[in-house]
A and B are shown apart, each in its own frame.
Chain A
Amino acid sequence: MTETASETPLVEMRGICKSFPGVQASDNIDLHLDRGEVLALLGENGAGKSTLMNILSGLYRQDSGDVFIRGRKVDIRSPRDAADLGIGMVHQNFMLVDTMSVAENVILGMASLAFVPDMAAVKRSILELGERYNMKVDPDAFIWQLSVGEQQRVEILKQLYRKAEILVLDEPTAVLTPQESHELNDVVKRMQAEGKSAVFITHKMDEVIAFSDRVMVLRKGKVVAEKTTRETDPKDLARVMVGREILFHIEKAPFSPGAVVLELKDVCAEDERGLPALRELSLQLRTGEILGIAGVAGNGQRELSEVITGLRPVKSGGISINCVDATNHTPLQIINSGVSHIPQDRIAVGAVGDMSVANNLAMKDYRSAPIASGLLIFPWRILEFARRMIGAFNIATPSPETMVKFLSGGNIQKTILAREIEACGSLLIAVYPSRGLDIGATESVRKQLVAQRDAGKAVLLVSEDIEELLCVADTIAVMYDGKAVGVMPAEGADPQEIGLLMAGVSPSGKESRP
């Protein structure tokens, strides 16, 4: 059995084709995966990575082509068939029931389940699995109590509990902090050591390098390259993925900062749980400057953007915008003082999915001329305004009246960006603006931020991508545990040093956590 397994691939997909109305999502794709191997599927949004894996996990059905598991031709008709074959998929949007416990979620939907499941045994094996793979999760915790990273662990535990041999991870790190990504990498390595295999979908080059043994690059439904990870580098991969050289460098005017736009002095604030999120944070931002906030997610970055925009109360300390006190002003007052905000959660906060692109674009400018005069607004002026914005910001939408939820992530972000930039007076706050976007969209977002800075506005850019900060920002401040632990000019900044500061290690070598 083991003999043959080493010869015949564990998974083999031959000539897979799948089309959706108007799109050839998979175009004659061949794929193989060996036992104990980690394969990366790299490609931009819409390249057909998820489609291919959804076929393998029984959610979609190929139009033509065959799938072989352990050398045997199989017909995967449902996720349950896939589970029986040892295939488990962790989706990008977790399929967990918020109001149920971890243990309940793990066994939910299993084919072989006793009428009254032995929950004590389930919990025991969850703890055992957690021990074995170094993924600690409390089996009695409710899903809503868990962080996104922990929820992902539950999803993986769920698959391990079901004895998955082939784990498919769909953009697993999109929602994770660098720390958590690292831990995920450990889990995958442990599984690999046990002879399990994994396919993981991504559009980030560095992850490919860190996670995989072999990489397959997809573009527009076709395999455009297949390489052993060791024999490639990020630049090479990026070129193949996009089909052209990518500018990792962005042209910008020389740095010449002006008057102070934003000043925070010893600001303290609390998070939802009432724990301190910002501890006497002080920052300064000038016109014509991009201040990059580096840091592992969850060190107060979101709270920082929220106290400035009036969405979160300041406990002590002061904030001034354009030298006028703006501490604990209402969100509307802040907006009126010329502050724009690209929020972290673009789907739930930044945009309204059930409203049209036009209405979403008008969501800031509806208060003033030309859309409004007095208390009235004019729908045709909203459309006119929207058409102009769609053109200026290259938003790909069937029409201005299309609901935002039907756009791709990149175009939703462009919609938000268009609205916020259009309404921006002096300060633009962008929180993870390129998170989850493909290279093309990322590039256009970064260019827009630089354009705002070149136009003399102040930009606060929160990012966890050091490379992004180095190429976009003028000044970098590292946030750790609610404080700015280091402020430095971006030019000539050492990524290693930033990394250490992000991890809470001061350059002198001591941990700065009290």
Chain B
Amino acid sequence: MTLVFEKRKTVSKTAIVVVPFISFAVSLVLTGVLLVTFGANPFETFAAMFKGAFGSGRAFTETLVKAIPLMLTGLGVALAFKLRFWNIGAEGQLTLAGVAATWVAVYWSPWLPAPILLPMLVLVGCAAGALWAGIPALLKTSLKVDETLVTLMLNYVAILISQFLYYGPWRDPKGFGFPGTEMFPKAAWFPRIAGRAHIGLYFALVAAAVLWFVLQRTRWGFELKVIGNSPKAARYQGISVERNILLAVLLSGALCGLAGVGEVAGISRRLQQGLSLGYGYTAIIVAWMAQLNPLAIPFVAIIMGGLLVGGDQVQMVMGLPSSMGLLMQGMMLFPMLAGSLFTEYRIKRMTGTQTREAARGGV
């Protein structure tokens, strides 16, 4: 007798809701085991992490600070993933958008009227993110170049461009040799809501709702769904595959770009080292954990942000390495990915030959 997965004919609605919670519980147990081997009390550690991430107003706003870029990049990559366009270049799109926003904030502000500085900053930042995503999209749709490699490699290019600028021509002359540009003028700052949490949060929430609506309720969303599932069938139905992939990926890049704009205009208020803490990569985890559902992404992003902030707390309070937070992120991903199987499959007990039958049935 063996256990096998059998594909469900319709995705279970209960499973969609229940499975993530069970997966989360499993990941807590796994991390607990890990903590015990470190000689730490898992309950105390979890309590400290939770308190550090959600225990106070200040803690929660810090969690939001991390969650905002995760929401935006998560939405961006989720949109591309829906089309089976593997955009793992959110990091680069975020970074380049940060550079572009900095350019506007520092170099256009002397002559640009203050009230339109901020909208312009957002616009140019998003355009830069879209441009950076547009390169691999264009290569893919016109020459069939694999987008995974191009998006990944463009990350390094964008990061090196930003480094070149804040170490070189854009370095603040009054910065005591500190690598970074000069501080943005106040008109180019993202207003803050509470603590360091800025209005990027509103952008992210609105973007999530709009993206959900576009995918579920518009003709374009329907077309994207067909393209994602079968480009051949889409072409036959008169849907322009290349043009729509290009459009969707530009939008994906613009969303990732918006995250970068928020980081420079809302948090650091200058371009400097450590613009992104790997948000563009964590975004991939966020998108998958949310099962590419735009409405789930903000919640997942907050949990992920909480893990990052809580991880720092663990280091301070419990004397454990802060990488414990990162470890926990990884520990969460596995049960989540395994768990997502259960929404589409169920376990069946079978004898040896039945196993092969099921395997055949799946083909």
Do A and B assemble together?
yes
Chain B residues lying within 8 Å of A351, measured Cβ to Cβ, are 233
State whether the Cβ of A409 lies closer than 8 Å to any Cβ in chain B: no
Known: A61-B351, A352-B229, A354-B229. A376 touches B219 (CB 8 A): yes
Chain A residues lying within 8 Å of B230, measured Cβ to Cβ, are 348-349, 352-354
State whether the Cβ of B2 lies closer than 8 Å to any Cβ in chain A: no
State whether the Cβ of B17 lies closer than 8 Å to any Cβ in chain A: no
Q: How many inter-chain contacts with C-beta < 8 Å in the A-B complex?
A: 95
Known: A402-B9, A403-B9. A77 touches B352 (CB 8 A): yes
How far in angstroms is the closest Cβ of chain A from B11? 9
Chain A residues lying within 8 Å of B351, measured Cβ to Cβ, are 61
How far in angstroms is the closest Cβ of chain B from A52? 13
Scoring B residues 4 to 32 as 1 if CB is less than 8 Å from chain A, else 0, what string do you get? 00000110000000000000000000000
Residues of chain B from 134 to 165 with CB closer than 8 A to chain A in the complex: none
Which of B222, B238, B354, B357: most chain A Cβ within 10 A? B238
How far in angstroms is the closest Cβ of chain A from B359? 9
Which of A262-270, A278-286, A331-339 is found at the contact surface with chain B?
A: A331-339
Q: Report the bound CA distance from A78 to B221 in whole Å.
A: 46
State whether the Cβ of A136 lies closer than 8 Å to any Cβ in chain B: no
Known: A330-B238, A348-B230. A379 touches B220 (CB 8 A): no
State whether the Cβ of A366 lies closer than 8 Å to any Cβ in chain B: yes
Chain B residue nearest to A398 in the complex (CB): B9
- Contact check: which of B217, B235, B237, B354 meets A379 at CB < 8 Å? B217
Q: Is the CB of B235 within 8 A of A367?
A: no
How far in angstroms is the closest Cβ of chain B from A66? 15
Chain A residues lying within 8 Å of B221, measured Cβ to Cβ, are 377
Q: Report the bound CA distance from A78 to B360 in whole Å.
A: 13
State whether the Cβ of B323 lies closer than 8 Å to any Cβ in chain A: no
Residues of chain B from 154 to 208 with CB closer than 8 A to chain A in the complex: none
Residues of chain A from 438 to 452 with CB closer than 8 A to chain B in the complex: none
State whether the Cβ of A350 lies closer than 8 Å to any Cβ in chain B: yes
State whether the Cβ of A144 lies closer than 8 Å to any Cβ in chain B: no
How far in angstroms is the closest Cβ of chain A from B15? 15
Q: For this complex, into which size category does the number of interface residues on chain A fall?
A: 35 or more
Q: How many residues of B contact A (CB 8 A)?
A: 29
State whether the Cβ of B356 lies closer than 8 Å to any Cβ in chain A: yes
State whether the Cβ of B216 lies closer than 8 Å to any Cβ in chain A: yes
Chain A residue nearest to B359 in the complex (CB): A59
Q: Report the bound CA distance from A359 to B235 in whole Å.
A: 16
Q: Report the bound CA distance from A272 to B167 in whole Å.
A: 52
Q: Is the CB of A364 within 8 A of B237?
A: yes
Q: Is the CB of A402 within 8 A of B10?
A: yes
State whether the Cβ of A93 lies closer than 8 Å to any Cβ in chain B: yes
Q: Is the CB of A335 within 8 A of B225?
A: no
Known: A332-B238, A375-B220. A399 touches B10 (CB 8 A): yes
Known: A61-B353, A355-B226, A399-B10. A366 touches B238 (CB 8 A): no
How far in angstroms is the closest Cβ of chain A from B143? 18
Q: Is the CB of A367 within 8 A of B236?
A: no
State whether the Cβ of B232 lies closer than 8 Å to any Cβ in chain A: yes
- Contact check: which of B217, B239, B240, B360 meets A377 at CB < 8 Å? B217
State whether the Cβ of A174 lies closer than 8 Å to any Cβ in chain B: no
State whether the Cβ of B1 lies closer than 8 Å to any Cβ in chain A: no
Q: Is the CB of A375 within 8 A of B226?
A: no
Q: Is the CB of A341 within 8 A of B353?
A: no
Q: Is the CB of B236 within 8 A of A331?
A: yes
Chain B residues lying within 8 Å of A206, measured Cβ to Cβ, are none
Scoring B residues 322 to 363 as 1 if CB is less than 8 Å from chain A, else 0, what string do you get? 000000000000000000000000000001111011001001
Q: Is the CB of B236 within 8 A of A372?
A: no
Q: Is the CB of B352 within 8 A of A59?
A: no
Q: Is the CB of B353 within 8 A of A77?
A: yes
Q: Is the CB of B229 within 8 A of A355?
A: yes
Q: Is the CB of B225 within 8 A of A355?
A: yes
Chain A residues lying within 8 Å of B239, measured Cβ to Cβ, are 332
- Contact check: which of A309, A334, A345, A379 meets B216 at CB < 8 Å? A379
State whether the Cβ of A311 lies closer than 8 Å to any Cβ in chain B: yes
Known: A376-B218, A377-B218, A377-B219. A334 touches B238 (CB 8 A): yes
- Contact check: which of A311, A341, A378 meets B217 at CB < 8 Å? A378
State whether the Cβ of A36 lies closer than 8 Å to any Cβ in chain B: no
State whether the Cβ of A363 lies closer than 8 Å to any Cβ in chain B: yes
Q: Is the CB of B9 within 8 A of A59?
A: no
Q: Is the CB of B219 within 8 A of A372?
A: yes
Chain B residue nearest to A62 in the complex (CB): B353
- Contact check: which of B220, B229, B233, B357 meets A59 at CB < 8 Å? B357
Chain B residues lying within 8 Å of A364, measured Cβ to Cβ, are 237
How far in angstroms is the closest Cβ of chain B from A129? 27
Q: Report the bound CA distance from A306 to B236 in whole Å.
A: 9
State whether the Cβ of A131 lies closer than 8 Å to any Cβ in chain B: no
Chain B residue nearest to A354 in the complex (CB): B229
Q: Report the bound CA distance from A351 to B233 in whole Å.
A: 6
Chain A residue nearest to B230 in the complex (CB): A352
Chain A residues lying within 8 Å of B354, measured Cβ to Cβ, are 61
Q: Report the bound CA distance from A331 to B356 in whole Å.
A: 42
Q: Is the CB of B232 within 8 A of A349?
A: yes
Q: Is the CB of B217 within 8 A of A366?
A: no
State whether the Cβ of A482 lies closer than 8 Å to any Cβ in chain B: no
State whether the Cβ of A504 lies closer than 8 Å to any Cβ in chain B: no
Known: A377-B218, A377-B219, A398-B9. A349 touches B233 (CB 8 A): yes
Q: Report the bound CA distance from A60 to B351 in whole Å.
A: 10
State whether the Cβ of A401 lies closer than 8 Å to any Cβ in chain B: yes
Q: Report the bound CA distance from A353 to B239 in whole Å.
A: 17
Known: A59-B356, A61-B351. A311 touches B9 (CB 8 A): no
Q: Is the CB of A60 within 8 A of B357?
A: yes
Q: Report the bound CA distance from A332 to B239 in whole Å.
A: 7
Q: Report the bound CA distance from A354 to B231 in whole Å.
A: 12
Chain B residues lying within 8 Å of A333, measured Cβ to Cβ, are 238
How far in angstroms is the closest Cβ of chain A from B114? 36
Q: Report the bound CA distance from A406 to B217 in whole Å.
A: 25
Q: Is the CB of B356 within 8 A of A363?
A: no
Chain A residues lying within 8 Å of B353, measured Cβ to Cβ, are 58-61, 77-78
Q: Report the bound CA distance from A54 to B360 in whole Å.
A: 10
Chain A residues lying within 8 Å of B233, measured Cβ to Cβ, are 348-352, 363
Q: Is the CB of B232 within 8 A of A348?
A: yes
Scoring A residues 76 to 101 as 1 if CB is less than 8 Å from chain B, else 0, what string do you get? 01100000000000000100000000
Chain A residues lying within 8 Å of B226, measured Cβ to Cβ, are 352, 355, 363
Which of B216, B221, B232: most chain A Cβ within 10 A? B232
Chain A residues lying within 8 Å of B217, measured Cβ to Cβ, are 376-379
Which of A77, A345, A349, A364: most chain B Cβ within 10 A? A349
Residues of chain A from 305 to 349 with CB closer than 8 A to chain B in the complex: 309-311, 330-336, 341, 343, 345, 348-349
Chain B residues lying within 8 Å of A376, measured Cβ to Cβ, are 217-219
Chain B residues lying within 8 Å of A330, measured Cβ to Cβ, are 238, 240
Residues of chain A from 65 to 119 with CB closer than 8 A to chain B in the complex: 77-78, 93
Chain B residue nearest to A372 in the complex (CB): B219
Q: Is the CB of B232 within 8 A of A335?
A: no
How far in angstroms is the closest Cβ of chain A from B176? 54
Q: Is the CB of A377 within 8 A of B229?
A: no
Known: A60-B353, A61-B351, A331-B237. 6 other contacts (CB 8 A): A332-B240, A348-B232, A353-B230, A376-B219, A378-B217, A399-B10
Give 11 A-B contacts (CB < 8 Å), ordered by A residue.
A58-B353, A60-B357, A61-B354, A309-B236, A311-B235, A335-B238, A352-B229, A353-B229, A362-B222, A375-B219, A379-B217
- The 9 A-B residue pairs with the shortest CB-CB distance, nearest first, are A61-B353, A332-B238, A331-B238, A335-B238, A352-B230, A352-B229, A354-B229, A352-B233, A349-B236
Residues of B within 8 A of A (CB): 9-10, 216-222, 225-226, 229-230, 232-233, 235-240, 351-354, 356-357, 360, 363
Residues of A within 8 A of B (CB): 54, 58-61, 77-78, 93, 309-311, 330-336, 341, 343, 345, 348-355, 359, 362-364, 366-367, 372, 375-379, 398-399, 401-403, 406
